[in-house]
């Protein structure tokens, strides 16, 4: 082991722990230290680390066929597409390798629809302040954090930013050249802000009135994280285009964008493609995820754990009002807004064997494996209690 761990890396992350294995909802580092995992590899490992059916499913697929390109169908990709379409209420799907690529596809689809409607469309997009959609040039262009974007401009043109949960600020930005409004149903990296019902419904109405695409980014908040398969189900609306990734493959890299027929049908052979996207290995993982969610009643479990956890976190809010400002979120995507540096809490937690995430500049984010149990949530709150008492 080299002394300077990041010697061979482009320094885009500050990291120091070397993890070796996972078991159930725990991680072990190279020194054998055990950590309760409240991060799930950033809302990815929904089934935890010991789901034998999942592991068996991908092992069997490795023995059959890992990759074939998208010039051909495979059984897993046919099933994965059907699972995702039916679960999301979308008509057609396209599999990618990551969330970022799903965003790229969604933006292209919205622009293609506008282009066919009127060949003079300028393809303008309205995105949200404090949003996060990824780091590629397209996804970065709709990411609402200036310091992520600034050094990499010029990005794609025609993007403007509205205030999240402020319908009027969105309305003001709509012009005849707008082709899409893109937002997260629950803002994740920005600080765990769920959309208000009025906001989501208002955006649905604006998109209908202007015949433009409503794109919901469900990469972090989808796939059961909020207690429904997709977070927009809480609002009783259907977007035109969705993006998924993170928990979609439970750790096997895969994403997707999906759309209702009106939009989906505008894409033709040659318009978009990917060599790996949704290859048999990734697709087998997606199928297993949907099958296991159903068999194990993951959505009901998330709802039950969420209300239990929320109540416990609220007692911490009452106990440490000088440090904890708010508890918010949906399902098992929860945030503690704190008045001390959030990174310091995450650091202290690591020392005590608890993996937490940050969000924004002042939120401690928790996105544990969805199979987490009450005893684990108790353990998490016990450690948080210790840390908060040291900080207040």
Binding site for ligand PLP (CB under 6 A): 98-100, 103, 132-134, 184, 188, 217, 219-220, 245-246, 255
DSSP for residue 382: H
Give the residue nearest to ligand PLP (CB): 99
| Least gap, CB of 347 to ligand PLP (angstroms) | 22
Closer Cβ to ligand PLP, 193 or 320, answer by number: 193
Q: How far apart are CA 277 and CA 96, in angstroms?
A: 4
Closer Cβ to ligand PLP, 220 or 266, answer by number: 220
Q: Where are the beta strands (DSSP E) in the chain?
A: 19-23, 26-29, 34-37, 92-96, 124-128, 159-162, 178-184, 186-187, 193-194, 213-217, 241-244, 255-259, 324-330, 333-338, 354-355, 357-359, 363-366
| Least gap, CB of 127 to ligand PLP (angstroms) | 11
Closer Cβ to ligand PLP, 139 or 388, answer by number: 139
Q: How far apart are CA 213 and CA 230, in angstroms?
A: 18
Of 260, 220, 219, 273, the closest CA to residue 243 belongs to: 219
Q: For residue 183, what is the enclosing H or E element?
A: strand 178-184
Q: How far apart are CA 137 and CA 299, in angstroms?
A: 34
Closer Cβ to ligand PLP, 133 or 328, answer by number: 133
| Least gap, CB of 84 to ligand PLP (angstroms) | 16
Q: For residue 387, what is the enclosing H or E element?
A: helix 374-391
| Least gap, CB of 99 to ligand PLP (angstroms) | 2
- Find out whether 227 and 302 touch, Cβ atoms under 8 Å: yes
Place of tokens 């292209």: 108
If DSSP codes are grouped into helix, strand and coil, which group holds residue 53? helix
- Find out whether 44 and 246 touch, Cβ atoms under 8 Å: yes
The torsion region of residue 250 among left (phi > 0), alpha (psi -120 to 50) and beta comes to left
363-366 and 357-359 beta bridge pairing: antiparallel
| Least gap, CB of 279 to ligand PLP (angstroms) | 16
Closer Cβ to ligand PLP, 266 or 335, answer by number: 335
| Least gap, CB of 217 to ligand PLP (angstroms) | 5
Closer Cβ to ligand PLP, 255 or 360, answer by number: 255
Of 124, 166, 164, the closest CA to residue 144 belongs to: 164
Closer Cβ to ligand PLP, 282 or 388, answer by number: 282
| Least gap, CB of 259 to ligand PLP (angstroms) | 17
| Least gap, CB of 120 to ligand PLP (angstroms) | 30
H-helix segments, 211-279: 261-264
| Least gap, CB of 14 to ligand PLP (angstroms) | 17
Q: Which tokens sit at 160?
A: 């403007």
**CA terminus-to-terminus distance, the chain:** 38
Closer Cβ to ligand PLP, 84 or 245, answer by number: 245
208: Cα separation from own chain's centroid? 25
| Least gap, CB of 15 to ligand PLP (angstroms) | 16
Of 29, 288, 243, 249, the closest CA to residue 142 belongs to: 243
Closer Cβ to ligand PLP, 39 or 320, answer by number: 39
Closer Cβ to ligand PLP, 130 or 133, answer by number: 133
């Amino acid at each position: 082991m080299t002394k300077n761990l990041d010697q061979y890396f482009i320094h885009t992350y500050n990291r120091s722990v070397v993890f070796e294995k996972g078991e159930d909802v725990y991680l072990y580092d190279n020194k054998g230290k055990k950590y309760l995992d409240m991060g799930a590899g950033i809302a990815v490992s929904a089934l935890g680390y010991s789901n034998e059916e999942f592991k068996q499913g991908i092992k069997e697929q490795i023995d059959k066929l890992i990759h074939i390109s998208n010039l051909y169908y495979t059984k897993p990709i046919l099933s994965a597409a059907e699972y995702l379409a039916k679960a999301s209420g979308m008509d057609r799907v396209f599999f990618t390798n990551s969330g970022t690529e799903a965003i790229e596809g969604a933006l292209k689809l919205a622009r293609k629809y506008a282009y066919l409607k009127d060949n003079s469309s300028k393809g303008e997009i309205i995105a949200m302040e404090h949003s996060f959609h990824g780091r590629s040039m397209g996804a970065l262009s709709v990411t609402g954090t200036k310091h992520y974007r600034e050094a990499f401009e010029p990005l794609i043109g025609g993007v403007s930013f509205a205030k999240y949960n402020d319908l009027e600020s969105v309305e003001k930005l709509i012009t005849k050249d707008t082709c899409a409004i893109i937002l997260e149903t629950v803002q994740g990296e920005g600080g765990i802000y769920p959309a208000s019902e009025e906001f989501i419904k208002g955006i649905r109405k604006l998109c209908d009135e202007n015949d433009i695409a409503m794109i919901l980014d469900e990469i972090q908040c989808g796939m059961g994280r909020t207690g429904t398969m997709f977070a927009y189900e809480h609002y009783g609306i259907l977007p035109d285009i969705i993006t998924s990734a993170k928990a979609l493959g439970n750790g096997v890299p895969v994403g997707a964008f999906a759309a209702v027929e009106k939009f989906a049908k505008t894409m033709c052979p040659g318009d978009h493609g990917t060599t790996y996207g949704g290859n048999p290995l990734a697709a087998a993982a997606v199928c297993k995820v949907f099958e296991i969610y159903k068999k194990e009643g993951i959505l009901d479990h998330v709802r039950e754990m969420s209300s239990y956890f929320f109540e416990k976190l609220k007692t911490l809010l009452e106990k440490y009002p000088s440090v904890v400002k708010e508890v918010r979120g949906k399902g098992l995507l929860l945030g503690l807004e704190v008045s001390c540096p959030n990174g310091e809490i995450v650091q202290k937690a690591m020392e005590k064997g608890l993996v937490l995430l940050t969000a924004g500049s002042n939120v401690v984010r928790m996105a544990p494996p969805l199979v987490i149990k009450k005893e684990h949530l108790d353990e998490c709150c016990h450690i948080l209690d210790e840390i908060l008492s040291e900080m207040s």
